[in-house]
Amino acid sequence: MSTRTISTNQSTTPATSVKPTELTVDDITVIDSKLLKRAVGAAALGNAMEWFDFGVYSYLAVIIGKVFFPDASATAQLIASFGTFAAAFLVRPIGGMVFGPLGDRFGRQKILALTMIMMSVGTFCIGLIPDYSSIGIMAPVLLLIARLVQGFSTGGEYGGAATFIAEYSTDKRRGFMGSFLEFGTLGGYLLGATLVTVMMATIPSQAMLDWGWRVPFFLAAPLGLFGLYIRLKLEETPAFKEHMDKQEALEHSKPRLNMWQMLVKYKKQMLKCIGLVLIFNVSNYMLTSYMPSYLTGVLGLSELTGLLLVMVVMFVMMPLTLMWGHWTDRIGRRPVIGLGAVGLIVLAVPCFMLIGSGNMWAVFAGLVVLGFLHTCFSGTMPATLPALFVTDIRYSALAIGFNLSVSLFGGTTPLVTAWLVDTTHNVMMPAYYMMGAGVIGLLTVLTLRETARKPLSGSSPAVASRAEAHRLIDKLRRQHGRKQQQNTPQTV
């Protein structure tokens, strides 16, 4: 078998717009399974790289606060550390506006290789920055610059990776294949968190403060080079190739939409994207970025205990994410996302009451329930979000919508919740924050159309083999025949 993805559709219109009676195998995209696995692995690895940095930064937030903001109080250090973390999210929409259109014009694979390089460089440079005692105010300034580079590159990462996997996948298994993107997220985060936890358990506190915190950031270089090598070996997605063939056939007669035109034309889809990403990322950053510091700084658990609890929950979430990805291909995306949204509304407060009880088993139970609810989103979003948009603007629209929502609501979650708890002295504020996200998510889900087991908008049906393509054609013709019979007037 060839290791090439076969895109057999050479027409200028998607197969979905061809009459079933005229449909042939040449109108169906047949996906090579080997290339699909490589594409999924390469996309997931980039996301793992991004979240390796998040895991490291979140677990080192207290130490980073001491290194770069030594004159502040412990609470102010934590808020300043998370403030620098959140600052990177302010430039993510700008990164999306730059990399998204480039990905739609020049291809997903090339831009994903570029974002990998920038992300690795930004992370590596954090480890090189001298501390405050050496260069004064320039230390936090350089930290901020490195975080801005990371944020800018990440602006093109998730939208591109989700688009890449969605366009490579078959219609029947898009949910399951997409869930590996978030499997990579959890794996990268867990790797970073595990590394920091082992170092904190084995290296003296002063040594961690002096030099140990730098080591995880230095690992970004070899990880980034490995990810870049894999991404450069990939071919472009079948859907993008098909789109470029159409553009050439039309001799570019259809002008490309500019940014404003795209936002106006697809404003409903963009709002849906923002609503879905809001609930997805509020629950995500609450668990992964804020929870370790909440357990330690607010509830008074030891650092090691707090870190280990969150790590175990992340480990439990990995297979659950794949499970939901598999089931969304069977029962649909909307029921699973709706379940997670309702769960947050109803269970956020009980979960935080359990976490605040101080009993280790109760704390763990509360975290596991929140983790389970989050996997309803992590297992579905990589397939749901790309399906909102057509092929020619998918990367751009998803990159902009995703990063705008993450910047306003997701990445600011640790900073806002830390400030709310400190201001109100109410340790339940994170639960109320998650409930609000659940309400917005549920309202958004009610406006969605189901996309499971259906072709992406503007693309041909995608199947795993030519035999499956023949079966699909037969099925469509039978359905067409039944419709014709129903619409034919009956004569007596």
Question: What is the pLDDT confidence band of residue 227, given thresholds at 50, 70 and 90?
Answer: confident
pLDDT digit string, tens, across residues 190-204: 888 888 888 888 888
Q: Which strands form 462-463's sheet, in the order they lie side by side?
A: 6-7, 29-30, 462-463
Return the pLDDT at 23.
66
| Residue 128 backbone dihedrals phi, psi, to 5 degrees | -90, -15
Q: How many Cβ atoms from other residues are within 10 Å of residue 145's Cβ? A: 16
Contact 95, 153 (CB under 8 A): yes
Rounded percentage of the chain residues whose pLDDT exceeds 90: 28
Question: Cβ neighbours of residue 437 under 8 Å, at least 6 residues apart?
Answer: 278, 279, 282, 283, 344, 409
Q: How far apart are alpha carbons 448 and 440 in whole angstroms?
A: 13
pLDDT digits (tens, 9 = 90+) for 451-472: 999 998 878 888 888 888 888 8
255 pLDDT tier (thresholds 50, 70, 90): low
Domain ranges of the chain: 29-238+266-459
pLDDT tens sequence across 267-317: 999 999 999 999 999 998 888 778 877 888 777 887 778 778 888 998 999
CA distances from 298 to 202, 319, 427 (A): 25, 30, 7
Rg (CA), the chain: 24
Q: What is the mean pLDDT of residues 218-246?
A: 77
> Is residue 92 predicted with pLDDT exceeding 90?
no
CA distance 40 to 37: 5
pLDDT at residue 47 in the model: 80
pLDDT band at 5 (very low <50, low <70, confident <90, very high): very low
Q: Counting Cβ atoms within 10 Å, is residue 362 exposed (0-12), middle (13-18) or buried (19+)?
A: middle
- What pLDDT score does 254 carry? 56
Alpha helices in 379-460 (DSSP H): 381-384, 394-405, 413-424, 429-445
> Closest Cα partner for 108 from 180, 164, 178?
164
Is it the case that residue 363 has pLDDT exceeding 70? Answer: yes
* 57-66, 229-238, 249-258, range with the lowest pLDDT: 249-258
Q: What is the pLDDT of residues 330-358, one digit of tens each?
A: 999 999 999 999 999 999 999 999 998 87
57-85 pLDDT, tens per residue? 777 877 888 888 787 777 677 677 777 77
Task: Kindly indicate the confidence band of residue 8, based on its pLDDT and cuts at 50, 70 and 90.
Answer: very low
Identify the band that residue 144 occupies on the pLDDT scale cut at 50, 70 and 90.
Answer: confident
Q: At residue 153, does pLDDT exceed 80? A: yes
Q: What is the mean pLDDT of residues 368-394?
A: 94
Smallest CA-to-CA distance from 44 within 152, 191, 150, 149 is with 191
Alpha helix stretches (DSSP H) within 219-266? 220-232, 238-249, 259-265
How far is Cα 62 from Cα 75, in angstroms, rounded to an integer?
A: 9
Sign of the CA dihedral with 344 first, then 349, 351, and 355 last: positive
pLDDT band at 12 (very low <50, low <70, confident <90, very high): very low
235 in Cβ contact with 4 (< 8 Å): yes
pLDDT tens digits along 113-134 = 888 888 888 888 888 989 888 8
What is the residue-averaged pLDDT of the chain? 83
Task: Collapse the DSSP code of 13 into the 3-class scheme (helix H, G, I; strand E, B; otherwise coil) and give the result.
Answer: coil
Band (19; pLDDT cuts 50, 70, 90): low
Of the pLDDT bands very low, low, confident and very high (cuts 50, 70, 90), residue 256 is low
What is the per-residue pLDDT across 385-411, written as a single tens digit (0 to 9) for each? 999 999 888 989 999 999 889 888 877
pLDDT at 450 over 90: yes
CATH superfamily of 29-238+266-459: MFS general substrate transporter like domains (1.20.1250.20)
